[in-house]
Structure 1
Amino acid sequence: ANGVEVAYRDATGERTISADYCVAALPPHIMARVPTNLGDAVTAALKTPTLTPVGKIGLEYRSRWWEAEDRIYGGITETDLDLTHVWYPSYGFHGKRGTIVGYYNTGANARTYGSLTPGQRVERALAQGAKIHGDRYRTELANAFSVAWHRTPYLEAGWVGWPSRTTGEYELLNQPQGRVYFAGDWLTYWIAWQNGAFDSARKVVTALHSRVQAGG
């Protein structure tokens, strides 16, 4: 009733930290696996959002051939390939090098690429992208980096979605549970965007400030 305790384990062993309040900013599906005394309704609500697999690759090229040869300055090529999108940088025009987003995909396409090794992701992305841009898509490549957010520990998704915001779970987690507050983009209407995280953080900090000012 007068505070919170969070137990955790790190390289030095098990520890407990005490505080007046807790702002829980873990993704909901991760938080749902953390044992708490907040009740079954909270745990069930945390399990409600659905996970979105997401993948992305950056392809760095030795020259900005898409500008010099194709006059492409920023923007996106929408495809019916499993790449989904190819994005071009909107900065550093005519510089020595540049990085293209070779794919930014979700769902089944993201799982397909995510199941591959990093090297295999590059090869698949190059093979598909060459259908659009030709051999230079492969021959001019300098480096690459990819990520599969659904395979990243403690994230396990690019973002989450709500099957419904009117069945009570969304409203429940947007309210303090005793001295525990939940925060994250998933508790706003700007899921997957930084402004959603900012919006949620501002809401929680404002609520905590008001509560403490009123005597807590």
Structure 2
Amino acid sequence: MSSVLLVDDDPLLLRTLRINLSARHYTVLTAHSGQEALATAEHEHPDAVLLDLGLPDLGGVDVLQRLRACLDAPIIVLSGRTEPEEMIRALDAGADDYVTKPFHPDELFARLRAVLRRPPRLVREHNPRIGEYEIDTEAATATGPAGNVRLTPTEWKILTLLLANPGHLVPGRQILREVWGPTAEKQRNYLRVYLAGLRRKLEPDPAHPRHLITEAGMGYRYEP
């Protein structure tokens, strides 16, 4: 039975979600503030988090980043903010999905099931390489001759998916669905922007990539 931490200062929404999740056989933990959420996550280690960004004590993105630093579990942001910039900011801070309020409960629970189906991490004898960089997805480091290069959380998610399938096509729709959620499957421009950024940071010749390959109209492939 999976455990879910609900973080929201709206008592009615918290109660509604708790009842619905319990009816679906989840173990439900609740928090009304950022500090309470951080303390609960540290002690209970939930399998997933539903996080409202409008908390009374701490900034929502700050709570998100601190949860991500101490918790290896999917985090779905719940927010009344519909601006694309807010969504991108939350995803780059470590969110696995972003759901705007008001939402239909069935959609939220479908997204929760999706993030809980994340594939298990692969155990590798050697870390993969892209050009001069050795990639350690467990430690989230990309190390080259001049030291580490910084990747955003979203870049890490995309790169991890590709590295988990060396030499094989990963469909663009699959990447969009797993990184941004099912409603993003048609947003191909997201991938073009992020893959271009990954190539600039990692490929020896970004204009002629050798490792992060585009399969036109289909998806992307990591070539060792």
Would you call these one fold, judging by a TM-score over 0.5? Answer: no
If the TM-score is normalised by the length of the shorter chain, which range does it land in?
A: under 0.3
Greater strand fraction, Structure 1 or Structure 2: 1
TM-score (norm 2): 0.26
Which structure would you say has the larger RCO, counting Cα contacts within 8 Å and 6 or more residues apart? 1
TM-score (norm 1): 0.27
